Structure 1
């Protein structure tokens, strides 16, 4: 079809329908994936109750009889994510504030591409770095039995999340209208007061989006936690105990689980729990972002 012979309204309608079809295909695909996940995970609850599965303390899927308790895996995921967020969010946002408000243009032109390049590093490379460099360092400095532990996993996830948080937050902060900066400085506020009380609140929606994207990557990350978390399906007693987050357990055991067996269905049910966990995290984070969404200069 030659678009040149169509009037503007017809071309617009064709393009609109094309984008609608693409969006609909994406939604249907995601829906089918979700349906498949639940169809393969729900059968395990014929063998074990939801309560025992979620709050069970022992994960021995190959023993006789097997134990399908994923509570230690959930705790490992939550602790690693929280610790990672504690490290990555302040560093990512502060780095973004520096690049957008303090750094000279030449410095920004140098640092910004480097940050975006780090964000594109494959997770297996980061995991390998954690195994070969960070793990021996932690083991020697803190005199612990192994450097493959929860703290190492949190460090590597933070390293993965910081570039994403920094890059998107910097764009959001940089796009704050100059009128707000000038008004604040004109009223006698210092540069620091302007950043903390004007710029950051005005860009909180974009910063929240950056945090959501960064932490979503950390929550669902598989390769890094598989390589550096230690792989122990037990409740951690300290920062330096090995753990096995939910994605690591799925990745490590799926290949050895008999097809359509109890272990197989238990791993898919673990995926369902991870899906629900990330879904509610994104819903809550999105609600926070919309609550503080900037609607114009009059917001402040």
Structure 2
């Protein structure tokens, strides 16, 4: 008995240390970001830093508004492309998929999660960019757009990011749907509802928490993606009103310039990381509030 009690205490200590390590890692990241980023924001000026539309480190102009908008554009585009496909795929896998093809399909979706970002970037450069370039030229010939771009831009990035967030959305949504008691679905059918109506009006709302979690994780993946985005986004720090033109994201801005940045320039890039970190926190808190409202309802 003493040996068992001693073992339990040791394991409790191990679990406690593991938990403290996780919290410490987050705390150290926060300390590093804010300790190095806040002074730069103060020196540049918060409003000037956030709302400035010119990023020209050589002239000490550090406005990240174009990068904020660029990140929002490509993330929103990824949601538009990825979320409907991800949810519909989850519905098929959870409710319709024959057993013979479930395993290959499941393996394929899991494989998507394991593909390196640079491979997605190469795929975008070789396959998606030429298609979007030709599409833009066609629109320009028809007089629908003034500039067609070179294929690297918001639309291309949104498509590739939409593919990258699919495994996250599919995995969490399917698991959430399978966790819904089958009586919900069967009861809806017994009341005369069609199969599709039962799924979209009963099963998916019951799995809302898991679906929202998957979408948020997908948003986090999209807004934090760097390598693939750098390869296909165009990387121009500017404001655009055309999804065919290139933009620069917050993460792309940091990676592109951190290698040679010094002084205030380097601190401004770290401050960009602070802004990105705050965005992620806002998203997480918003989802937590939505979950609480859903539970109360």
Give the TM interval when normalised to the shorter protein: over 0.9
Q: TM-score, normalised by structure 2?
A: 0.92
Shift of 1:140: 1.4
Over the aligned positions, Cα root-mean-square deviation in angstroms equals: 1.6
CA distance in 2, matches of 1:24, 1:77: 33
Q: Deviations over 1:263-299 (max 9, x none)?
A: 00000000000000111011112222333249xxxx8
- Number of the residue aligned with 1:151: 155
**For residues 99-178 of structure 1, what are the structure 2 equivalents within 5 Å?**
99-143=93-137, 144-178=148-182
Structure 1 contact 131–228 (Cα < 8 Å) conserved: yes
- Number of the residue aligned with 1:285: 287
Are positions 1:71 and 2:65 aligned together?
Answer: yes
CA distance in 2, matches of 1:93, 1:293: 21
- Number of the residue aligned with 2:23: 27
Shift of 1:5: 6.5
CA 1:11/1:186 → structure 2, altered by over 3 Å: closer, same or farther?
farther
CA distance in 1, matches of 2:10, 2:228: 44
| 44, 48, 53: which one aligns with 1:48 | 44
Q: TM-score, normalised by structure 1?
A: 0.91
CA 1:289/1:107 → structure 2, altered by over 3 Å: closer, same or farther?
farther
CA distance in 1, matches of 2:25, 2:176: 31
Q: Deviations over 1:66-116 (max 9, x none)?
A: 211110110101111111111111111111011101111222222111111
- Number of the residue aligned with 1:93: 87
Q: How many residues align?
A: 287
**Which ranges in structure 2 are unaligned for 5 or more consecutive residues?**
138-147
CA 1:293/1:126 → structure 2, altered by over 3 Å: closer, same or farther?
farther
Q: Deviations over 1:225-255 (max 9, x none)?
A: 1111101100011111100000000000000
**Which ranges in structure 1 are unaligned for 5 or more consecutive residues?**
none
- SS of 1:231's equivalent in the other structure is coil
CA distance in 1, matches of 2:149, 2:214: 36
